[in-house]
Structure 1
């Protein structure tokens, strides 16, 4: 008896395997004995797909980091970090907390898709039970103990040991999962943490985690640079404020107010108001060329010298500025400065002033808003011997004389003629209710001439000084 053979299917001997290059006929493929295996993918195609994925990831990271480095402030960088990270991990909302581990500040909290009240609700949860809080407090270090690692909670609703307050806030705000990333590198240290929130239970895939961690390390280094700049600005602003009057004098017949905005590099703009004999008052504003600590030091020396000259011969503003020019030329020949000094007799409402390359004062009142006509003169330190005639004016009761530095005009970014027109329009538009308060007049001018984005500590530009004197 012969050995039984396996049955054939559609005329093909199933005991005999087809060579790999042989195609299955169409009529046999319709009724296979078992599902046909997919054709093997060539190794070069797999490599090409992998390379294409790498190129795509690198291109995405390049675009995101390019957007990040264009940010110039800590809050803007945190917002860009939140936005880019949300795209990488597939989340819709998030919160970034800047809290440097050295304790020197500044501290900041920024949200994405979260209102201010929402951020406040999240902050009511004990930090030790939140993912970002554990990072900030160093409760989840890496195995080597140096830096914290990412903290993910893929299902907040199903987490049995979740803090009751955390569960309550998550339910109220409608998020069900979170992924927190430390803002920390070995060079920068721990600067803060960022957490993204998911509406449903979820967690980023391995590729997403890899990309967001690469992006997070770059963002941390960028934040560290901005942090150093911000701290330097704060120090410069503090020094500048210490070099300016801590308070303005109280003189019968006149009300005074001053406003000072320090530029990012720390310029040499200054103001002064000092009482003089027989009820007189000396008002001064000026600007020293340059920026940074050297300009601040020169500004302090110049202001102190002007005070001494004003006490000795304040009735003659030209003599005061002439002495100041001689001092500047002898002690700091490589530096120039502008200055304006006004000798005021408030009871008689009489002002005698002289300016050296400085912008003209502005008179603001019910019946007029006009610039004081002063003679053209060079800045101090630019001529072998400076001298210019003085100007006398008599403000009416209730009028305010506004002294300012050219940083107010330059920070607008307009040509000087348009900047002067802009300042005049702002002064003419002071509300009637504010005209009795020189501080309100100065604030209105600042808000109008320098709208949002041009005013404040983060605005790019020069120093701005305003000194307002309202005569009764």
Structure 2
């Protein structure tokens, strides 16, 4: 009786995988040599799998499709992790270079609606190289044609059957998406501007492939172009892969564009709600630093000239983030200015009136605040705080916190009242007022944060102590060496410095 021999795996399943591309486990092969064959050279023999059984061909094709989907999944996963427009453009350039088999590239963000922002990112190209490429006229065969030839998506023009189009996606006119532009050989391509050939020779590229960053729904956002060192162009499979990736990348860029525009709008509103400039009052020099988060917090500051050469200084924070917190902050700051003009010599009365207003108009919101009535000529300060961190005095002989009484934030008690504190800064000393965001952005415990703040203020170089702006900058650099990450949600940071002469 004959024994059964083990059956090996099909030949197609044992086929070797292509090498990795640009560090990505991609199955897209390296770009083939697309130059014309030499005269007299016989054509290449047909592929070895041409005579393979249909089942093996189907297995190979399925394996190739699965590998392509895996590659696209890896690339899109990397793209979706980007949180900024520039970061996303750089990722698109790197992934696109791997898919089309190029080494260098350029991405241009230029939304068709003209509302910005605009940006140009290069891969393997210096800043001067990007400027040189941008001198190429937007003519036939140039990737600039993609930027000029695609309108933005807009409302559908009413026709005989749509005199009253229904609101929603059906009333939006899809924009026509242009086809990619492939230039196989810059030297022989017809219709190119002479400047295009000149730039290609100077930068050392011989071919290019331009892809529109556009969809029918989003309209045109920009374009990406990759450059080959030798005459070449992506084959049909590569075109298909980069087309799929480009559509996904455009949708991701459109989302990031909306977030960036919303962030800019919030930042603009926040800046308009805060003082446009600090007042000039004899005997004191002022400086302020305001760092805003991506959602826009409710931290604020104010410096208000008062009668008889006095000065009102205030910092505070409203609970919450976003437009509602900004609106509440604006109302609270405007009210405090009015109370400061009427009874600024009594900081307790100012904060008591502010607490009553907050409790009556916005019972679901709380706030912290610190108001100081300063007389620079006498170097005298009277201040009161509601749930706020104490000021810090920085001078040649001392760096210490002002002892203030503990009190609850505004809106937390039925009736707020706390005693005021009087302070007499010496000539040359700087008083730092700050919001809780400066403490919480460090990520440390409260006691450690206060110790770090005091150490940062004490380490201000002697040469910088006469400039309140330099003092504020040193403290911020010491506590937040990497700055305020705009992609991380959190409170704003306000640091107001007053140096008494």
Q: TM tier, shorter chain?
A: 0.7 to 0.9
Match of 1:109? 120
Give the structure 1 partner of residue 72 of structure 2.
61
1:38 Cα deviation from its structure 2 partner: 7.9
Q: CA deviation at 1:290?
A: 0.9
Q: Indicate the SS of the match to 1:110.
A: strand
Q: How many residues align?
A: 434
SS of the residue 1:52 aligns to: helix
Compute the displacement of 1:234 (Å). Answer: 0.8
1:404 is the counterpart of 2:415? no
2:146 aligned partner: 135
Q: Please, which of 291, 301, 306 is the counterpart of residue 331 of structure 2?
A: 301
Q: Distance in 1 between matches of 2:267 and 2:175?
A: 38
Contact 2:49 2:57 in 1 (8 A): no
1:20-419 matched pairs, under 5 angstroms = 40-128=51-139, 131-138=142-149, 146-159=176-189, 161-419=191-449
1:470 Cα deviation (Å)?
1.1
Question: Quick one: structure 1 residues 166 and 296, their matched pair in 2 at CA, closer, same or farther if it must change by over 3 Å?
Answer: same
What CA distance in whole angstroms lies between the structure 2 residues aligned with 1:175 and 1:450? 44
Counterpart contact for 1:261–1:456, Cα < 8 Å: no
Tell me which moved more, 146-155 or 210-219: 146-155
**Over alpha carbons, which structure has the higher Rg?**
1
1:434 matched to 2:499? The reply is no
The separation in 2 between residues aligned to 1:429 and 1:176, in whole angstroms, is 57
Deviation at 1:288, TM superposition (A): 0.4
How far, CA to CA, are the matches of 1:279 and 1:404 in structure 2? Answer: 24
Deviates more, 1:295-304 or 1:371-380: 371-380
1:170 Cα deviation from its structure 2 partner: 2.0
CA distance in 1, matches of 2:266, 2:107: 27
TM-score normalised by the chain length of structure 1: 0.87
Counterpart-to-counterpart distance in 1, 2:398 and 2:143:
59
Secondary structure of the residue aligned to 1:148 is coil
Answer whether contact 1:74 1:226 (CA < 8 A) is retained.
Answer: yes
Q: Which moved more, 1:437-446 or 1:374-383?
A: 437-446
Determine whether 1:470 maps to 2:499: yes
TM-score (norm 2): 0.82
CA distance in 1, matches of 2:49, 2:190: 44
Output one character per residue of 1:25-80: Cα deviation in whole Å (capped at 9) or x when no partner. xxxxxxxxxx9x98931222111111111111111111111111111111111111
Q: Secondary structure at the match of 2:227?
A: strand
